Structure 1
Amino acid sequence: MRSVTSWLPQLPFLPALAVLLLAPRAEAQAQSDEPSAPLAFADFSWLPGNAGANEKPLRFGPFTGEFRLDTAYHYSFNRPRDDTLSGSSEVFRHGEVQVTQLGIGGDFLYKNVMGRLMTQFGMYSQTTPRNDASPTRGQWSLDDAYRYVSEAYGGYHFDALRGINLQAGIFMSYIGLWSYYNADNWTYQPSYVSSNTPWFFNGVRAQIFVSDTLKVEPWLVNGWQSYGRFNDGYGVGGQILWRPTGWLSVVGNQYYGSDTLGNPGRKRVHTDDSVMVKYHDAPGGFVSKAAASLTLDAGCEFGGGVDCGSQYFLGFMAYHRAWFLQDRLALTVGGGAITNPGRYLVLLPPINGTTAASGTPYFTANPGDRYRAWDFQVAVDVIPQPFITFRVEFNHRAASVPYFSGRGGVTPPGGNQGAPGSVVDGWRPDLVKTESRLTGALMVKL
């Protein structure tokens, strides 16, 4: 076993963390005299998936620019030979500094016409499309067409109720509570409930702001985090978001679709529901804020050879976060667990180049295949300004079957061989049931 001191020098972010505590924090921009937008009557930056400054330094007339840079170093105690990590939608390489995402874009709003664009260069541009099997149905390489875009939509704002937005394109779904963008979240690695549910949809949505505290958002989408359709049907669903006060937020997401490639008779239902509570708020105190979140998920697939008794998903995740010294420091602890017979939401390990479309005999996803997993995270954030976060995080993850990259890795000698995910004679991937990991991340959000 390696000693603790053997891996500490490999974390280049650690030496600077203490120094940053002494950096002065800029004063917040003066509040506008304009009335608040719906669901923005209070400071909700404490919410998971909603972190960031109220100040917008890249605002120019009808355009509000946005710049994101997420750079991370991950150290797995399994030390896979090929530096390839398995089972995460955010963490992909061991022992290397990698850019998870470089995003440049922003929001346009002029005479009620709106649009948003956000790019995704870096690891996300390769890893997110491989989890979508829909581009294999038909032509035109949808994964290549969209891989460098995380959000791209336009729409129109109707001055009815407290506002109605009708939008079409690729938009964030936030099923699972955590944001697709790690800088917005309380931890870098989300628990399985978030990591295994959609980050984005390609379709049409209406955001109906019924009041300052309530939003109703129906969706008509191509499918479950997909660029195209898996079969001849569409996915439908919606979100209800309720924030009655500045310390409470409740959100529910519901979905129905047909998302098994080539099996139109198989249907999927899913519910994802979260409650978030800020129970302490003392800006001048040592502990400036404290909050907790709980997310519960349930769903199943039926028809096309399966039923809800054998092909289902149950999961939860719970987190607690405390902020210190006027929100310059933060500590988050939490985790969760899932069970998913049939493994229809389990991310496939990238064995020999496996994708969601190829599958792999080394880790099957057949009806009835058992899968249970649990995890916990501890994250420490240093936030000298609300535009930047330095994060150090420990993760421990476990599964009921071999799933995570072990010492031998998941890449055949000499690199991937044959078709993605295919069997390689005389070789097997080294999958293990547990993984412990350290992360150091620097995340900029302007």
Structure 2
Amino acid sequence: MKPLVLFTATALLTASAAMAQTTPDSTAAAADPANPLTTYGFVDGYYGYDFKHAATNQRPGFLYSHNRQNEFTVNNAVIGLRYDNGQVRGALGLHAGTYVSANYAAEDQVLKHLYEAYAGFRPFQKAWLDVGIFGSHIGFESALSKDNWTLTRSLMAENSPYYEAGARLTYEVAPKLTLTGLVLNGWQNIRENNQAKALGTQIQWKPTDKLLINSSTFYGNEQPQDSVRRRRYFHDFYVSYAATDRLSLALVFDVGKQESEQRGGKADTWHTGAAFVRYKLADKWTAAARAEYYNADRGVIISTISPVAAATDFKVQAASLNLDYAPTSNVTFRVEGRTFHGRQPFLTDRNGNPTRNYGNLTSSIALSF
């Protein structure tokens, strides 16, 4: 893989290929030459309750955001600085909360509280080259609940990267088309776990003001250095459409493969999809619904990074209904009900019995500035 990485890195830095940033962060302010330094912050306090839950405050292991139940706590609290004078830019953000405890559990203690930390410049007109830690180029949903149509994250978002560490080259081909190329330490990890680098791409096309189409890819070996190599191939696709001033729709589909020495060398495959509908009920009230599914051979990725021959498939469907109240532009109160159903038991209930069903309620007050 090393020659490929070297070639790709060189291509990125020479700008012979047009690349661009993905997953724009809505907390970023527009560049203002008169005041290039801006501050931002976000805090998301929540309470969740699970039905027929086992005697623990921890929600199922495949949920990482708002993953505590029957407990008042903070999902994510972020404070940071951003600098952008049009030619040079950078950011430093710190965060803490249950989201950090769950998603960054394997990271170094010194690094896990970095929400973002990168520096960049324009190597040529309409391009940015950034190096450091930044938001993932994969997915329709972000780490900050205020940017998402639903309070909790879909199964596909919870089990794909929220953040990345590496080099990112972005290029605005046209006002409606942006490309991104990345060389990364790996699949949601700040510290490298082997000697190989991962590659990523993203295309974002906005043919009209109402329609956004996104395609993101990932390729890499994510096994620890002392493990057998298993290359991972992944593609994320989504489209969002503002049908009217009140109604918005989105479709998301992910598919991935990871090499396996089990089953005669046949790759473990997972695919997952979700449909979102959001409707503005009134000036301060919004409702959203989500339907989704997640299928993973032997539970690859969602249950284990390296499944064994005896591991069972993970096949679950879920649906949720969301109600939001925004008394001001920077505060939102949200309530969401969610239910899960599996083709076979995938959890243990409060009586210690296997179950195919699971449901929860989550409420949140989020403040941003």
TM > 0.5: yes
Indicate whether 1:113 and 2:92 are aligned: no
**Pair 205,320 (structure 1): closer, same or farther in 2 beyond 3 Å:** same
Corresponding residue for residue 116 of structure 2: 151
Tell me the secondary structure at the aligned position of residue 98 of structure 1. Answer: strand
Corresponding residue for residue 17 of structure 2: none
Deviation at 1:393, TM superposition (A): 0.4
Deviation at 1:174, TM superposition (A): 4.5
Residues 53 and 387, structure 1, Cα contact 8 Å, conserved in 2? no
Corresponding residue for residue 101 of structure 2: 126
Residues 70 and 99, structure 1, Cα contact 8 Å, conserved in 2? yes
Superposed CA RMSD in Å reads 2.7
TM-score w.r.t. length of structure 1 = 0.71
Residues 139 and 157, structure 2, Cα contact 8 Å, conserved in 1? yes
Cα separation, 2, equivalents of 1:400 and 1:365: 19
Amino acid of the structure 2 residue aligned with 1:195:
E
Tell me the secondary structure at the aligned position of residue 378 of structure 1. Answer: strand
Deviation at 1:188, TM superposition (A): 1.6
- Segment drifting more, 264-273 vs 150-159: 150-159
Q: Which has the higher strand share?
A: 2
Indicate whether 1:180 and 2:143 are aligned: yes
Cα separation, 2, equivalents of 1:52 and 1:63: 13
Residues 274 and 295, structure 1, Cα contact 8 Å, conserved in 2? yes
Residue of 65, 68, 82 corresponding to 1:90? 65
Amino acid of the structure 1 residue aligned with 2:365:
L
Corresponding residue for residue 366 of structure 1: 308
Corresponding residue for residue 315 of structure 1: 272
Residue of 197, 203, 218 corresponding to 1:255? 218
Cα separation, 2, equivalents of 1:305 and 1:335: 32
Amino acid of the structure 2 residue aligned with 1:65:
T
Identity fraction in percent: 22
Count matched residues. 345
Q: Deviations over 1:1-48 (max 9, x none)?
A: xxxxxxxxxxxxxxxxxxxxxxxxxxxxxxxxxxxxxx9xxxxxxxx9
Deviation at 1:100, TM superposition (A): 0.8
Indicate whether 1:267 and 2:231 are aligned: yes
Corresponding residue for residue 45 of structure 2: 71
Amino acid of the structure 2 residue aligned with 1:231:
N
Tell me the secondary structure at the aligned position of residue 174 of structure 2. Answer: coil
Deviation at 1:64, TM superposition (A): 1.6
Deviation at 1:159, TM superposition (A): 4.7
Indicate whether 1:340 and 2:296 are aligned: yes
Bigger radius of gyration: 1
Corresponding residue for residue 32 of structure 1: none
**Pair 129,51 (structure 1): closer, same or farther in 2 beyond 3 Å:** closer
Unaligned runs of 5+ in 1: 1-38, 40-47, 133-141, 282-288, 349-355, 357-363, 409-428
Deviation at 1:204, TM superposition (A): 0.7
Q: Deviations over 1:312-357 (max 9, x none)?
A: 011101100011323x111101121011113221056xxxxxxx8x
Unaligned runs of 5+ in 2: 1-19
**Pair 174,96 (structure 1): closer, same or farther in 2 beyond 3 Å:** farther
**Pair 169,49 (structure 1): closer, same or farther in 2 beyond 3 Å:** closer
**Pair 400,308 (structure 1): closer, same or farther in 2 beyond 3 Å:** farther
